[in-house]
Structures are given as C-alpha cells and as structure tokens.
Amino acid sequence: MKIRNGRLSALAALALAASMALTACGSDSEGGSDSGDGGGGAAAITMLPKNLGNPYFDTSTAGAEKAADEFGGSIDEVGPDAASPDAQVPFINTAAQQGVDALIVSANDPEALCDALDEASSAGVKVVTFDSDTNPECRDLYINQATAEGIAKSQVDLIAEQIGDAGEIAILSAAANATNQNAWIEMMETELEANHPDIELVDTVYGDDDDQTSFDKTAALLQSHPNLKGIISPTTVGIAAAARYLSTSEYKGNVALTGLGTPNQMRDYVKDGTVEAFALWNPGDLGYLAAFAAQALVDGDISGEEGDTFEAGDLGEFTVGADGVVLLGEPFVFNADNIDDFDF
Amino acid sequence: MSDTLLVEPSAVSPTQRVVGGLLRSREIAVGAVLVLVVVLTTIKNPNFLFSSDGWRDLLLSPSLLLLLAVGQTVVIITRNVDLSVGSILGLTAYFTGKLFVDHPGLPIWVVFLAGTAMGALLGLVNGALVAFGKVPALVITLGTLYIYRGIFLSWAGSDRINAGDMPSDFLALGTKTILTIPVLTIIGFVVLAAVGYYLYTARGGRELYAIGSDPDAAVLYGLPTRTRVLSAFVLCGALAGLAGVVYAARYGTVSSGAGYGMELQAVGAAVIGGVAIFGGSGTVWGAAIGAFLLVTINRALPVVGISDFWQRAVVGALIIAAIVLDRVFSAREERRLVAARDEMRKS
C-alpha cells in the first residue's frame, strides 16, 4: 500500500486509525506477553523509505514484506515523493498516532527526524533505522548494510578471483576528497598488502563521479599501463562509465572490472561479458533483516542493547553491536547467474 | 569618381597578405598547439594515437563539446552568453532516455529530432527573456541554468537511465565509425560546417557579428536585433539538445548530474578558439579547434602522467593565455589602425 499525497494520506490515516482501534479491541496487539516466533505477535510495522517510487527502496520493502509474511506481521509502506530532510516528519507523526508497533525508517537527515521519532518512541513505537541512520539516541536499532572493511575486502577478493590473484590493478574512484572512497581505498591497500602479495596497485585515479572524466581516466589507465589486469571502481558512476568504455574497447575481456554498482546499470555489461561480477549490498535482505529486528523489538526478545541476539529467518542469527547497530554482513555479489533476480 | 577611400587598398602583395593572415590567425595558432599536444603525448605513449581506441577517442571525445561550443560561439558573437547549455544538455539527455523507456520501438531519428526540438524550446525561453526583457544574458541564463537543473532534479530524482533502457542500435551509434571516423563526430562536423558557412556568407550571419560589434549601431542601422539574438539562443539551445541525445548514446547512462559544468567548458572552448567574449569577432572553426584542444588536453595529461591536481591548472592557464593573446593582438591592431588614420589625415 502506497500513500502519495497529503490529503490522501490523511484520509488513509483516519481509516487506518479506525481499523487499528477496532483490531486492538479484538486481538492481541500487546506483543510483549507472548515472546518468540509464531503467529502470536502479529506486529504492525510501518515502513518509511526516503522516498517512494525508488527501485532501491521498492526492493527493500519487498524484502520486509517477505519477512512479515514469515512471522505473520503486516507492513505498510508510506513515504514522501521526494527525499527532502523534513518530508518524513508527518509520516512519523501519523504512524505514532496510529499506534503501530514499529517504524522502519531510512532517514533523509540524521537530525531533522529526531523530535518526531522521540515522540513516537514515547508513544510505544519501536524505531528501527536502515540504509541511512539518524543520531543513535533517536532510534532503537540501526541496520547497517555494510562496513568499510567489508566493502574493501569484497572488492579485493572479487578482483583477485577475476585476475588469478596476480598482476597489476588500478582504482577508479570518485572525487579525490570523498571521505568514504578514501577510507575504502586505504583499507583495500592494507588488504592487498596483507593477503595478496602478487597483486600490485599501480595507480589510483579520480573520475569525479562524472561520465566524461571517468571515461577519460579509464582510457588513460588502459593506455598508460599496458600490463593492467583489472580495475576496481567503488563508485556507481565510475563503474558504469568504465564498463561502458571497456565494453566498446579493444581491451574488453582482457582487463577485468569490478566495484560497487547496481544491477540495473550493470546488467548489459554483465551479459555482454565486460564485467564478471560486482558487489553491493542487497536491499531486499536489508529490508528483510530490518523487519525481523523490528519484530524482535516488539516481541521484547531484544531491547537494542549491545550483545542482544535475534533470529532473522533465512539470514540466520544476528547480534546487536555497539550503539545499537546490526550489520547485514558482507556485500552481496552480483553476477550473470543472479542479476536478473534484481530490479533496482 | 574621385572619392577618397577611407582605407587604401593594401600595398603588400596578395601572397604576403595570405601568409601574414595565416600566421596571425588564431585558428592556426590553436591548431598548432593541438597538434603539438597530440604529437608529444604520442611520443610518450604511442597508444594515444596509434591504437584503435586511441584514434577513435581522439575524434569521438570532443564531439559533445564541439556541438556546445558551436552554439555558444553563435551566442557570444552577438555579445551575449548562454550559461544554461549544461542544464539543457542534461535535461534532454534524460528526456531521450525517457522516450525510449516510455515508447520502445521509437525510430532513432525521431528521438534525435525530439531532443533537438526540446533544446530549441528551452533556448527559446532564454532568447525571449534576453531579447525582450532587456536583461543581461549572463543573469538570465544563470537563472535558467538553475531552473532547468532544478526541473531535471525533480523529474529524475534518484532515478537513472541505464544502458539497458535504451535500444542497442542507439547505443551502438556511440562508437560506430564510418571509414574509422565516428558517426557522432561526423554529426558534429556537419553541424560545424553548416553553421560556419552561414556565419561566414549569409546576411543573417554577418548581422550577428554587426550586432555583437556595436549593438546600438546595429539598432540604429535598422537590423532586426531582437529576432537575430532570439534565433541565436534558439540555435544554441537546439545544439545543446542535440548534444544531450549524443550524450545518451555515448555514455549509455544518464543520471541527474549529466552535463554539470559543461557550460563553462563550452565558453572556455570558444574563448580558447579566439572568440572574443565581448562579441563581434571569432569563428566557429576556432571554437571547434578550441573544443578539440580542451578535451584532448584533458585526455592527454593523465596519459602523460601529470597528476590530477595539476590538470585543471593547465586548462586554466590555457584559457588565460588565450585571453592575454587576444588582448595583445587587439592592442597591436588598434595601434596600427590609429597610425594608419593619422597618416591619412596628414596627407
């Protein structure tokens, strides 16, 4: 169920509030009493992505709905049309008034949502953030898609596998001052040194997340390093541009390319053989895990303290880390066999 | 017929005049720098020119900026400037992708036409505001730069056009070649030749120069300044629209950052190619060579191994050098003309 405009959402909120009140009379929405799995704790969860109509979040909501089917809860997706910092506030207020059991949010802003989320919490709503966090004190749990170490390691492992763990590689990054990119690159260097002594990182170039610049830098890499075996591009614009250049180049098939990308932008290049495999987290799993975490909070199995553990269906057992962060795990690897299962 | 001519026919021989003109010509000077860049880079790394990728990229990469620079030149000649071309390019590139998504099977030429028409429409808005609003083009197009980009952002959001959304025939155009010359470059050259011929020979083209040289005199003389300026902006918009379609074909992906900052490259290419920023002089040939030089330098510097941080500085130095050269030439020309006038008065 998607609610798009204000007036409609007000109407729907009324209708929902009414139905909530009715169900509250007849059924057991106080999930705390019967803990554990099973049909008892049918948590009513509101899912609030950054914006609606975004394939990435459509995938995460589908994952959450799958989880809800498994534990017998219900998911309502609401959200603004555009991802602006305070557009999510009215939706949080509405959810609090409806008295839903839990709220799963991908925050457009770490600060702007805090007041509304605090109010919801004090009304008894469990708050789980996913994909992008708020300040830690404003929510119970944060489902983190990946850590910098995990991303760096998966990139290095992928390229090592594709070039036979030996030879020259280069990195095509975004801007030279992009904090996350630089952190990843530094960790990749450490990982290469520690576990892949035969791979030599010969160059790191910056495509500025611009198609033309990324094209030019890819071409320059290929021309100035004739022995280059592979390129890692841990940025979605960079990997797409490099793949496009490589797919029409004489180096296609001789130089491996991997990095972080989305299945829709990389599909053609995986199918034509330019790219063997690349990584990103799976937003479906992210939504799935967030829903199970919300359910565990509602059931009272966990309170969001460090060291709490809970079961998340097919994904297995998860442990809450410091600051109430739950890590999804290693990035997901997309290749020719699985890429058609995804649409984001 | 005893009228004295204002300027005597030149006393130097025609051969000397042609050779002197060539030596003073900005187009030749910039072209020489371009050749130098290519030669030096090729010596350093033969792949730059002699690999099949290298030759193709040399011709293909500048084709986008070529279109923008030609349009920009026409506007600058009228003593205006169009800063919105980067946003127009992005908007039409996304529009192109959307056309393919919403109407699969649309013939490619229709998409080219639609993109160009959309660019022309956006250019018409610029032109109408400048020609009828009497507001400086710098301000108007700075405004539409943000407005068009804003429309693009709210339309596209975090959405992106991917290679899979566009037909493979269209994407193949991005690298297709005829006799080793890329199709997109041929499109650029055809546009260049048409606009260059018009500016050089047609009455309308010459009037654009007249307007840019002295707008007040052009009005007093009875030239249709409004219509001319309006059509210059429409042409510039249309070419930016065409460049948007080319962008989609070349990169196979369009996100909301497409074309960001291209307007300054287009102005830079024109200025490097000898188009005076205050209007009234310069040719599209020069701007085209300027576009080739700007893009080729950007491609050559990483191949030569100059660090990223210096690459921008080199481009900046090039633009300043071009302006200084302009200034020196025009000051010398002025002195020469003053001297010629004084001599005539004495006699």
Interface touch A211/B253, C-beta < 8 Å: yes
B311 or A73: which leads in pLDDT = A73
Tell whether A54 lies on the interface with B, counting CB pairs under 8 A.
Answer: yes
Interface touch B251/A211, C-beta < 8 Å: yes
A146 or B127: which leads in pLDDT = B127
According to DSSP, the residues that pair with A259 across neighbouring strands are A233
Q: How far apart are the first and last CA of chain B?
A: 19
The closest CB to that of B51, out of A56, A83, A250, belongs to A250
> How many residues can be counted in chain B?
347
Q: Which of A28, A26, A10 is nearest to A98 (CA)?
A: A10
Fold of A148-280: Rossmann fold (3.40.50)
The domain segmentation of chain A, as residue ranges, is 2-146+283-329, 148-280
Q: Which of A152, A221, A16 is nearest to B53 (CA)?
A: A221
Interface touch B164/A222, C-beta < 8 Å: no
Contacts of A222 in chain B (CB under 8 A): 53
Q: Determine what percent of chain A is predicted with pLDDT higher than 90.
A: 38
Contacts of B311 in chain A (CB under 8 A): none
Chain B window 293-332: which residues touch A at a Cβ cutoff of 8 Å?
Answer: 298-299, 302-303, 305, 308-309
Enclosing domain of residue B194:
25-313
- Measured torsion, CA atoms of residues A156, A158, A164, A166, in degrees rounded to the nearest 10: -20
Give the ipTM of the model, two decimals please.
0.78
Interface touch A216/B309, C-beta < 8 Å: no
The SS3 of residue A178 is coil
Q: Establish if B325 belongs to a structural domain.
A: no
Interface test with B, best of A131, A214, A268 (most B CBs within 10 A): A268
Query: Looking at residue A257, what is its pLDDT?
Result: 94
Q: Are A213 and A207 in contact (CB under 8 A)?
A: yes
Do A2-146+283-329 and A148-280 come out as alike in CATH topology?
Answer: yes
Interface test with A, best of B37, B42, B51 (most A CBs within 10 A): B51
Query: Looking at residue B283, what is its pLDDT?
Result: 92
Query: Looking at residue B5, what is its pLDDT?
Result: 58
Interface touch A220/B302, C-beta < 8 Å: yes
Interface touch A54/B157, C-beta < 8 Å: yes
Query: Looking at residue A35, what is its pLDDT?
Result: 36
Contacts of A108 in chain B (CB under 8 A): none
**pLDDT, tens only, A236-255:** 888 999 999 999 888 888 89
CATH code of B47's domain: 1.10.3470
All residue ranges of chain B with pLDDT < 70 are: 1-12, 17-24, 158, 308, 347
Mean confidence (pLDDT) of chain A: 83
Q: Establish if B77 belongs to a structural domain.
A: yes
Interface touch B302/A217, C-beta < 8 Å: yes
Q: How far is CA B238 from CA A36, A246, B112, B291, in A?
A: 65, 31, 11, 18
Interface touch A54/B160, C-beta < 8 Å: no
pLDDT band at A2 (very low <50, low <70, confident <90, very high): very low
Return d(Cα A142, Cα A211) in angstroms, integer: 33
The closest CB to that of A176, out of B52, B251, B308, belongs to B308
Interface test with B, best of A50, A204, A212, A222 (most B CBs within 10 A): A212
Return d(Cα B39, Cα B35) in angstroms, integer: 6
Mark residue A313 as left, alpha or beta (left: phi above 0; alpha: psi -120 to 50; beta: remaining).
left
Query: Looking at residue A37, what is its pLDDT?
Result: 38
Contacts of A83 in chain B (CB under 8 A): 157-158
Query: Tokens for B200?
Result: 């050089």
Interface touch B162/A267, C-beta < 8 Å: yes
Interface A-B: count of C-beta contacts within 8 A: 91
pLDDT at A34 over 80: no
Q: Average pLDDT in the A104-131 region?
A: 89
Contacts of B309 in chain A (CB under 8 A): 176
Q: Are B55 and B180 in contact (CB under 8 A)?
A: yes
Interface touch B162/A237, C-beta < 8 Å: no
pLDDT at A24 over 80: no
Return d(Cα B2, Cα B319) in angstroms, integer: 48
Q: Are B99 and B114 in contact (CB under 8 A)?
A: yes
Contacts of B157 in chain A (CB under 8 A): 51, 53-54, 82-83
Interface touch B159/A240, C-beta < 8 Å: no
Q: Which CATH number fits domain A2-146+283-329: 3.40.50.2300, 3.40.640.10, 3.30.530.20, 3.40.50.720?
A: 3.40.50.2300
**What is the tally of structural domains in chain B?**
1
pLDDT at A32 over 70: no
Q: Establish if B318 belongs to a structural domain.
A: no
pLDDT band at A41 (very low <50, low <70, confident <90, very high): low
Q: Establish if B164 belongs to a structural domain.
A: yes
Query: Tokens for B27?
Result: 């187009």
Return d(Cα A169, Cα A227) in angstroms, integer: 9
**pLDDT, tens only, A182-231:** 888 999 999 999 999 999 999 999 888 888 888 888 988 998 888 999 99
Contacts of B54 in chain A (CB under 8 A): 223
**pLDDT, tens only, B83-117:** 999 999 999 999 999 999 999 888 999 999 999 99
Q: Which residue is associated with the tokens 């160059």? A: A203
